[in-house]
């Protein structure tokens, strides 16, 4: 498949934060290996003047998703800590980029970048119709952000070469991609974008 970028496209990079990278509090195995290709996508969109959205997990230290506070995860991406910062090699364009914080209230978790955020509003006011979604984790926040996009009426492309999962249960990431395709999302690689 070949896809030509249009003025109604946006890139969504999900949760490329230190805590989700090898050595972090909740590491996605090889999560940092997708950074070079994500940077290619980011530069492509940015050079075309298309908006790039970076979601981030942004939890208070007593967040409901943490073990000991009702959740299943080790503490991760605590607001204003090193673990919550984007990986230092991730390219953040100087302009037309947006940081979307999610899961910032103690009693509310968000696997989707659309939940409790202004992401949909920002996309709509820019006339965005198609979103390209990459990042981590395939089986959690990428899955839910992409599914949220589908449900809100966007045409969703999942970056096949720009996602990584945790696979708490073997096959979770594969099933997540299948689920998204069953719901109308398409898979795409960098080479398939027509320049
Ligand atoms: C995520 C688990 C907990 C993710 C966030 O970004 O996929 N996973 N919080
Ligand atoms: Zn989280």
Q: Which residues is 57 bridged to in the sheet?
A: 102
Beta strands in the chain (DSSP E): 3-4, 9-14, 52-57, 97-102, 130-136, 155-164, 186-188, 193-194
Provide the number of structural domains found in the chain.
1
At 41, is the secondary structure helix, strand, or coil?
Answer: helix
d(CA 39, ligand 1 centre) in Å: 21
CATH of the domain at 109: 3.40.50.850
Q: Which residues, by Cβ under 5 Å, contact ligand 2, an ion? A: 57
Q: What is the pLDDT along the chain (195 residues), one digit of tens a residue?
A: 899 999 999 999 999 999 999 999 999 999 999 999 999 999 999 999 999 999 999 999 999 999 999 999 999 999 999 999 999 999 999 999 999 999 999 999 999 999 999 999 999 999 999 999 999 999 999 999 999 999 999 999 999 999 999 999 999 999 999 999 999 999 999 999 987
d(CA 103, ligand 2 centre) in Å: 7
| 57 Cβ inside 6 Å of ligand 1 | yes
Residue 54, both tokens: 């970076």
| 140 Cβ inside 6 Å of ligand 1 | yes
At 44, is the secondary structure helix, strand, or coil?
Answer: helix
At 144, is the secondary structure helix, strand, or coil?
Answer: helix
Give whole-number Cα distances, 103 to 57, 70, 115, 120, 189, in Å: 6, 14, 8, 16, 29
Q: Which residues is 154 bridged to in the sheet?
A: none
The whole domain housing 155 covers 3-194
Residue with tokens 């809100």, as numbered in its chain: 152
The pLDDT value recorded for residue 167 is 96
d(CA 7, ligand 1 centre) in Å: 30
Residue 19, both tokens: 């805590």
| Cα 142 to Cα 148: distance, rounded to the nearest angstrom | 10
The pLDDT value recorded for residue 13 is 99
Residue 28, both tokens: 């996605």
| Cα 32 to Cα 99: distance, rounded to the nearest angstrom | 19
Q: What is the pTM of this model?
A: 0.98
Taking alpha carbons only, the member of 110, 102, 111 closest to residue 79 is 102
At 25, is the secondary structure helix, strand, or coil?
Answer: coil
| Dihedral class, residue 33 (left if φ above 0, else alpha if ψ from -120 to 50, else beta) | alpha
Measuring from atom 4 of ligand 1, which residue has the nearest CA? 141
| 154 Cβ inside 6 Å of ligand 1 | no
At 82, is the secondary structure helix, strand, or coil?
Answer: helix
């Amino acid at each position: 498949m070949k896809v030509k970028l249009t003025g109604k496209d946006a890139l969504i990079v999900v949760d490329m934060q230190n805590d989700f990278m090898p050595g972090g509090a909740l590491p996605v195995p090889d999560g940092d290996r997708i950074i070079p290709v994500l940077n290619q996508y980011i530069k492509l969109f940015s050079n075309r003047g298309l908006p790039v959205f970076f979601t981030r997990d942004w939890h208070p230290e007593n967040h409901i998703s943490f073990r000991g506070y009702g959740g299943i995860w080790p503490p991760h991406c605590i607001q204003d800590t090193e673990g919550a910062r984007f990986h230092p090699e991730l390219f953040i364009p100087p302009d037309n980029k947006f940081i979307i914080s999610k899961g910032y209230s103690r009693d509310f978790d968000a696997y989707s970048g659309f939940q409790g955020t202004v992401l949909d509003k920002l996309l709509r006011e820019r006339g965005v119709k198609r979103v390209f979604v990459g990042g981590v984790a395939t089986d959690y926040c990428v899955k839910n952000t992409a599914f949220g996009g589908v449900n809100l009426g966007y045409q969703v492309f999942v970056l096949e070469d720009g996602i990584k999962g945790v696979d708490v249960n073997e096959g979770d990431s594969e099933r997540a991609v299948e689920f998204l395709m069953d719901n109308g999302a398409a898979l795409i690689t960098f080479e398939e974008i027509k320049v």
